[in-house]
């Protein structure tokens, strides 16, 4: 009888360990292709995804980012945050149409789209997140990715292909 219970106990312990190992034994598939850049100029972000295989708990992240489209925008393009605010000019807010201009440098929510009605003392959060690649603050090169302000790294002065005014590392791209 003791042998029987000891066999059952061994089976349960082995099963539990095996199941636990299965839960954390996921391995990653290869990284997918990079997405289109969030901007065509002025510095944006691109992402790549990977899938967790053979389990539910892979170690690490399933998404990575890099900077892209670092070429200067034409002067008539305007500020990226301003473009996002002006997209709401044709949308009624509390029954009225407004011309929206960006509110910059909000330390509490640098990646929220806060805009002010032109000529009014009305500031509104029109979206909880700005588009990926939007600068966190007007004087900073840090950029918003998925609603979170990501700190950009500066290139070393001896790097060949890096543009000093945009965030990158010496491989040419910043990966978050």
From CA 43, how far away is CA 57, in angstroms rounded?
34
Q: Would residue 33 count as lying in a domain?
A: no
Q: Would residue 175 count as lying in a domain?
A: no
Range of the domain at 122: 80-127
Q: Would residue 87 count as lying in a domain?
A: yes
The tens digit of pLDDT for each residue in 31-52 reads 999 999 988 888 888 889 999 9
From CA 147, how far away is CA 156, in angstroms rounded?
28
Radius of gyration, alpha carbons of the chain? 24
Mean pLDDT computed over 82-96: 96
Mean pLDDT computed over 139-149: 86
pLDDT confidence of residue 170: 33
pTM: 0.67
Nearest to 111 by CA among 119, 123, 120, 103: 103
């Amino acid at each position: 009888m003791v042998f029987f219970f000891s066999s059952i106990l061994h089976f349960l312990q082995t099963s539990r360990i095996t199941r636990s190992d299965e839960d954390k034994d996921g391995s990653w598939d290869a990284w997918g292709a990079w997405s289109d850049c969030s901007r065509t100029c002025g510095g944006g972000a691109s992402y790549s995804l990977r899938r967790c295989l053979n389990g539910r708990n892979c170690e690490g992240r399933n998404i990575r980012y890099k900077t892209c489209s670092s070429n200067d925008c034409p002067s008539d393009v305007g500020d990226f945050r301003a473009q996002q605010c002006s997209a709401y000019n044709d949308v009624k807010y509390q029954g009225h149409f407004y011309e929206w201009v960006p509110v910059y440098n909000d330390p509490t929510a640098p990646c929220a789209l806060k805009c002010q009605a032109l000529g009014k003392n009305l500031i509104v959060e029109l979206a909880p997140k700005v588009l990926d690649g939007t600068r966190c603050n007007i004087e900073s090169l840090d950029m918003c990715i998925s609603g979170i302000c990501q700190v950009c790294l500066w290139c070393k002065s001896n790097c060949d292909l890096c543009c000093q005014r945009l965030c990158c590392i010496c491989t040419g791209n910043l990966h978050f």
